[in-house]
Amino acid sequence: MKSIRASRWIAPAAALLIGLGAAGSARAQFIEGPYIAGALGVNSLDDAKFRLDSSLSQGMTALGQPNGGQMGFDLGGVGVLSLGWGFRNGIRLEIEGSYRSNEVDSANGAAGLASPGAHGGRQDSYGLMGNVLLDLIRIGPFTPYIGLGAGYLVTGFNDVNGRPGDGSLRLRADDTGGAFAFQGMAGIGFAIDQVPGLSVTAEYRYLESLGASIPVSYVNAAGATVLTGKADTESRNQSFLLGLRYAFNAAPAAPAAVAAPVMARSFLVFFDWDRADLTARARQIIGEAAETSRAQPARIEVAGHADRSGTPQYNVALSRRRAETVAEELIRRGIARQDISITALGETQPLVATAEGVREPQNRRVEIILK
């Protein structure tokens, strides 16, 4: 039944994330390229049913002992480490490893008596998950995000013990079992301006596995094994984490100027023929323009131009795409959209006069003018 419930919301939610990411690509630019993230926090493990397999259940019944029960757990710890890739439009994919550990604090039925000293041990889990995440919007240094994940969770009993029924038998469990797992997450990142690419994250996660079968045994007062088999147990985790994330391709901080007697007020960004994407040098120039604007706030005019190798109508459209690309990069570097005006001038204002159809590199440009 659990797998049916999971499939009902995982597929629609994944489709929603992809759709939101496609829409977000037009709004802002987020992480681009590889990143690494880690987090530590508190893990709450829900009470878990303790279900014996058929052979154990029949054996316990024959001995007059309970054949099912439940285990409860204290608050525990969680650690997460992930490697990911951002696509600049808000969508991120990552591989994640995790560890959770919770001490047993209560047990009843086949898992033991709910009385002091009648139970002990802990439940550990080790997860390997694939996640898809979506950065929703940039609000100053803050970026809220949501995500979904699926993978495999190994659940282990570490010296779990208890005395079920009349206490004549003792449960022993010190083994592992694995099962499919899924998770949802929501969090917020806070960018550290002093270290480009570094963010502090705060996050909530819900992780559930579909039930792991773990070897267990029951021994008598003399220590002799009476019954062996497997017990199915659930793992439903709610985690609260604080962590760090570092994106490797973040734009470097502009070096502090030693002296600036005259502040530059205009910048030129050049483009390849019939292209509107940014080169590394173009990004550097735009970064300098953004830094200058922050040092002395000003209105920014972004004027796109083209050479005369296309039709006038095509060149106007191409110059607009170039201007919008530059404006998006300025926004990514912290300039407010309302402070930017965009003009598409096509081939009407060349730096170098040419005949019709000539591909002139100096004319394929965007001018950033601070006023």
C-beta neighbour count of 338 within 10 angstroms: 7
What integer pLDDT is reported at residue 162 of this predicted model?
Answer: 78
Identify which has the larger pLDDT, 118 or 281: 281
Identify which has the larger pLDDT, 354 or 243: 243
Going by pLDDT thresholds of 50, 70 and 90, the confidence category of residue 293 is: confident
H/E stretch holding 332: helix 312-332
What integer pLDDT is reported at residue 153 of this predicted model?
Answer: 97
pLDDT digits (tens, 9 = 90+) for 219-248: 888 888 889 889 888 899 999 999 999 999
Going by pLDDT thresholds of 50, 70 and 90, the confidence category of residue 334 is: confident
- In the chain, the domains with their CATH numbers are 2-247 (2.40.160.20), 266-370 (3.30.1330.60)
What integer pLDDT is reported at residue 116 of this predicted model?
Answer: 47
C-beta neighbour count of 33 within 10 angstroms: 14
Residue 22 tokens read as: 């496609």
Q: Hey, what long-range contacts does 318-325 have (CB within 8 A, 24 or more apart)?
A: 318/274, 318/276, 318/346, 319/344, 319/345, 319/346, 319/366, 320/344, 321/276, 322/269, 322/271, 322/276, 322/364, 322/365, 322/366, 323/366, 324/276, 325/276, 325/277, 325/278, 325/366
Distance (Å, rounded) from C-alpha 295 to C-alpha 316?
Answer: 32
CA distances from 30 to 73, 140, 145, 209, 335 (A): 39, 13, 11, 31, 14
What integer pLDDT is reported at residue 317 of this predicted model?
Answer: 94
pLDDT digits (tens, 9 = 90+) for 17-56: 445 444 444 345 699 999 999 999 999 999 988 888 888 8
pLDDT digits (tens, 9 = 90+) for 99-136: 999 999 888 877 665 444 557 889 999 999 999 999 99
Identify which has the larger pLDDT, 105 or 91: 91
Mean pLDDT, the chain, whole residue set: 85
H/E stretch holding 80: strand 76-87
Residue spans of beta strands (DSSP E) within 90-141? 91-109, 119-135
Residues 6+ apart with CB under 8 A from 288: 254, 264, 267
Q: Token match 């590394």: residue?
A: 280
What integer pLDDT is reported at residue 118 of this predicted model?
Answer: 58
Residue 234 gets the label, from left (phi > 0), alpha (psi -120 to 50) or beta, of beta
DSSP state of 277: S
pLDDT digits (tens, 9 = 90+) for 135-150: 999 999 999 999 999 9
**pLDDT of 3 higher than 70:** no
Q: Where are the alpha helices (DSSP H) in 266-311?
A: 280-295
pLDDT digits (tens, 9 = 90+) for 154-166: 999 998 887 776 6
What's the length of the chain?
371
Per the confidence metrics, is the pTM higher than 0.85?
no
pLDDT digits (tens, 9 = 90+) for 58-77: 888 888 888 778 888 999 99
